[in-house]
Amino acid sequence: MATNTRPLLRFITCGSVDDGKSTLIGRLLHDTGSLTDDQRSAAGAMPDFAALLDGLEDERTQGITIDVAYRQFATPRRRFIVADCPGHEQYTRNMATGASTADLAVVLVDARKGLLPQTLRHTAIVAMFGVRHVVLAVNKMDAVEWSRDVFERIVSDYRNHLKQLDAELAFEAIPLSGLKGDNVVESSSRTAWYPGPTLLRALEDADAASADPGTAFRMPVQWMSRLPDGRGYAGTVVAGTIKAGERIRVEPAGTEAKITHVFGLDREIESAERDDAITLVLDRELDVARGDVLCSADAPAPASDQFSTRVLWMDGEPLLPGRSYAMQLGTRSVRATLTSLKHRLDVESGAHLSATQLRMNEIGTCEWHLDQSVAFEAFADNRELGGFILVDRHSNATAGAGVIDFALRRSGNLHWQSLQVDRAARARIKGHRGRCIWLTGLSGAGKSTIADAVEAQLNLRGVHTYLLDGDNVRHGLNRDLGFTAADRVENIRRVAEVARLMVDAGLVVLVSFISPFRAEREMARELFAPGEFLEVFVDTPLAVAESRDSKGLYAKARAGKLPNFTGIDSPYEAPDRADLMVDTSRQSIAECTRAVLDLID
C-alpha cells in the first residue's frame, strides 16, 4: 500500500465548550494506531480519550496569548498536524491562532444542543483566516438515539448560517460519536441512513484548500549579514522561486538589483522555493531594512500605508477609532492608527452592524493608516503578506489579529506638497521655535488656570502663543463630539493634529485637556519632533478637584446625570513619563506657573 500519498494536512478542531473536541482527537489517535505501546497500555481497555490526549507529550504551547495543543499523526494515505483549540469564549484568541495556519477545520456540535454562539463565532473566524474546508462533526449522536432528523436539522441550520456569513467554504457533515468511535475511523452500523465518509476518510481525501500564494517570488527580510561575497539578506521564501542571475525588487523602496548567490542553511544552492530559509547576495548593496520584501522585479508586490481590513479583537479594552497600535506584518512592525470602524459582524446572523467600537471576541471591518508604507498582498492571495497582529504599545500584549482585504485607493492619490517656507523659516521670523505644552489631569485640577497664567507670561516675553482649552474647543471644532470613550479619543486626535499644525507655524501651543487615556497622549507626542512635546501632569487628588467643582460637573456625575465623567465612572490613566508633575493642592498657581516656564526654558 502506498504511504502518505497526499500532502500534509493541517487541521483544527473547534466549537463550543464540552462538545467533545479532545475526546474526538483522542479517539482518532487511538483508533488509527498513532499511540506508542506505552500510551496504549496506559490507556487500558476503556480509555478516557480526553484525558488520554491531555497526557500526550508533544508540541504544546501554553500561555495567556496561546494555548493550543498540536499533535502529529499519520495513516498510510496521509500525514496530519491537528490543533486542539479551547472552546471557552475567553480563549477565542487561541482558536484564531490555530485557524491562521490550518487547511481545514473540524467544527464540532453537540447533537443535543445544536448550534451555539461559540460554534458560529468559530465558523466566522475560520472563514476570516482563510480556511476553505469545513467538516461539521455532529458529535454525541448516541445521546439522541442516532436520530436522522436531529442530524439533518443541525446540518440545515449550519448550511443556512454559511449563506448568511457569505462564506465560501467547502462543507460536509458527519454524524458520529467520539466516545464510542462511530464514524470516526470505521463506519457505523447505527447510521445506515448516512452514506458519507468517516471523519478519517474525509480528512484523508480533503484538499489543502488554503490560498495559493502565486508563482511570483516573495521573501520578507528577517535580517542582514556581512558575507565574503557581499551583504546577505536572509529570510524565508513565502511564494515563488528564485535563483542566481534573476533580478529582484525591494518593496516598498522600489530599488532593484541582480541575485549573484543563493545560500541555504549550510551551503550555496542553485535555486530556492517556497518555505526555504535562504540568504541572498546581490550585485550591489541596497538600503534594505528588516521587514522589507524582496520580490520578482517583473511582478513586485504592491505597497501602501492605508488598508481596509477585517479584525478579530482580543483585548479587554475596546478598539476605538483614533487609537494607535503596533501592527506586526510578517517581519515588519509599524505604528497603525484606526481611522474608521466600518461595521461589526453579528456572528449569529451574519449581518453587518454599525459600531463605534469593537469589544473582545468581536469581528469588524476596519480602515487603518500606517506611519509608513509596507509591501503587502491581500490575505486571500498570500497569508504571510496579508495577515497581521495588533500589539498594545504600552503592555506589549497581543490586542487583535486581522487580515488585509485591499489597500485604500486614496492612499495612492495623496502626496506631500513641497513648500518653500518650512518650520525653521517660521521660527526665525518669530525668534523662537514652536513647541506643544500638553497639560493633563482631572477636571478641576487647575490645568486651564495654569495654562492661562503661563501664556500670559510668555506673551509678556514676546513669545507667539495659542491656548487650546478643552471647553473652548468643544464650542467649535469638536462641537459634534460627546463624552463616550470613542468621542474622547477623537477629541484628542483632532486637537493633537491642530496643535501639530500650530507648532509647525512656529507657535508655542498650550493644550489644556483632561485627555484621560495614555494611548491618546502618546499618539499626540508622536506627532512631534523630539523636544517639541512636553507633557505636564497636574496631579491633584480627586477629592480636592471635586471640592472645587465650580461648574457643578462632579455633582451631576454623582447624581447619574452626567455619564462617562472622568474620575467618577470613566477612568483617568495617569502619565507614566510626564516631563513635569505639579500638584495644585500643595503648590500655588504661581509656583506651578514658574515650574512650567522653567520646563519650557
Please determine, for residue 155, whether its predicted confidence score (pLDDT) is greater than 90. Answer: yes
Please determine, for residue 301, whether its predicted confidence score (pLDDT) is greater than 50. Answer: yes
pLDDT at 601: 86
3-state DSSP of 439-460 = EECCCCCCHHHHHHHHHHHHHH
Q: How far apart are CA 258 and CA 286, in angstroms?
A: 11
pLDDT at 411: 55
Same fold, 218-296 and 303-411: yes
> pLDDT grade, residue 553 (50/70/90)?
confident
Estimate the share of the chain in helix, then strand, then coil, as percent rounded to the nearest 5: 30, 30, 40
pLDDT at 210: 56
Q: Span 576-582, mean pLDDT?
A: 93
* Long-range contacts (CB closer than 8 Å, 24 or more residues apart) made by 45-50: 49/22, 49/23, 49/24, 49/25, 49/178, 49/179, 50/20, 50/22, 50/23, 50/26
- Beta-carbon neighbour count of residue 128 at 10 Å? 22
pLDDT at 385: 94
Query: What digits encode the pLDDT tens for the residues 80-110?
Result: 999 887 766 666 777 888 888 899 999 999 9
Q: How far apart are CA 532 and CA 500, in angstroms?
A: 9
pLDDT at 459: 94
Closest alpha carbon to 249 in 299, 322, 175, 305: 299
pLDDT at 416: 63
CB contact at 8 A, 115 and 154: yes
Q: How far is CA 286 from CA 230, 232, 245, in A?
A: 11, 11, 17
Closest alpha carbon to 493 in 509, 475, 478: 478
pLDDT at 35: 63
Query: What digits encode the pLDDT tens for the residues 397-444?
Result: 999 999 999 999 765 555 666 778 888 888 888 889 899 999 999 999
| Phi (first) and psi of residue 600, to 5 degrees | -65, -45
Q: Helices 423-430 and 485-504, interaxial angle, to 10°? A: 70
Please determine, for residue 512, whether its predicted confidence score (pLDDT) is greater than 80. Answer: yes
CB contact at 8 A, 584 and 446: yes
Average pLDDT, the chain: 88
User: Coil, strand or helix: which one is 496?
Assistant: helix
Query: What digits encode the pLDDT tens for the residues 109-150?
Result: 999 999 999 899 999 999 999 898 999 999 999 999 999 999
Closest alpha carbon to 124 in 307, 263, 312: 312
Q: Span 482-495, mean pLDDT?
A: 87
pLDDT at 68: 59
The answer to whether the pTM exceeds 0.95 is: no
Which fold would CATH assign to domain 303-411? Elongation Factor Tu (Ef-tu); domain 3 (2.40.30)
Please determine, for residue 515, whether its predicted confidence score (pLDDT) is greater than 70. Answer: yes
Q: Span 498-516, mean pLDDT?
A: 94
Q: Span 140-169, mean pLDDT?
A: 93
Q: Span 543-557, mean pLDDT?
A: 86
Catalytic residues: 515
End-to-end CA distance of the chain: 84
Query: What digits encode the pLDDT tens for the residues 225-274?
Result: 888 878 899 999 999 999 999 999 999 999 999 999 999 988 999 999 99
Please determine, for residue 203, whether its predicted confidence score (pLDDT) is greater than 50. Answer: yes
Query: What are 416's three cell numbers?
Result: 506631500
User: Coil, strand or helix: which one is 435?
Assistant: strand
- Which of 319-333, 381-395, 545-559, 570-584 is predicted with the least confidence, judged by mean pLDDT? 545-559
Highest CATH level, class, for 9-205: alpha beta
Q: What percent of the chain has pLDDT over 90?
A: 62
CB contact at 8 A, 143 and 190: no
Query: What digits encode the pLDDT tens for the residues 15-67?
Result: 888 888 888 988 998 898 876 555 555 555 445 555 544 444 333 333 333 45
Q: How far apart are CA 597 and CA 595, in angstroms?
A: 5
CB contact at 8 A, 115 and 158: yes
Burial of 458: CB neighbours in 10 Å, binned 0-12, 13-18, 19+ = buried
Query: What digits encode the pLDDT tens for the residues 337-374?
Result: 999 999 999 988 889 999 989 999 999 999 999 999 99
| H-helix segments, 467-571 | 470-473, 485-504, 518-525, 542-548, 553-558
DSSP sequence for 158-206: HHHHHHHHT---EEEEEE-BTTTTBTTTB--GGGTT--S--HHHHHHH-
Pairing of strands 465-469, 508-512: parallel
pLDDT at 36: 56
User: Residue ranges per domain, the chain?
Assistant: 9-205, 218-296, 303-411, 426-600
Which fold would CATH assign to domain 426-600? Rossmann fold (3.40.50)
CB contact at 8 A, 384 and 323: no
Which fold would CATH assign to domain 218-296? Elongation Factor Tu (Ef-tu); domain 3 (2.40.30)
Peptide bond just before 252 cis, omega within 30 deg: yes
Please give the residue that has the higher pLDDT: either 37 or 507: 507
In what helix (H) or strand (E) does residue 120 lie, and over which residues does it extend?
Answer: helix 117-128
Paired with 296 in beta bridges are 248
Please determine, for residue 1, whether its predicted confidence score (pLDDT) is greater than 70. Answer: no
| Phi (first) and psi of residue 595, to 5 degrees | -65, -40
Q: Span 464-477, mean pLDDT?
A: 92
pLDDT at 574: 93
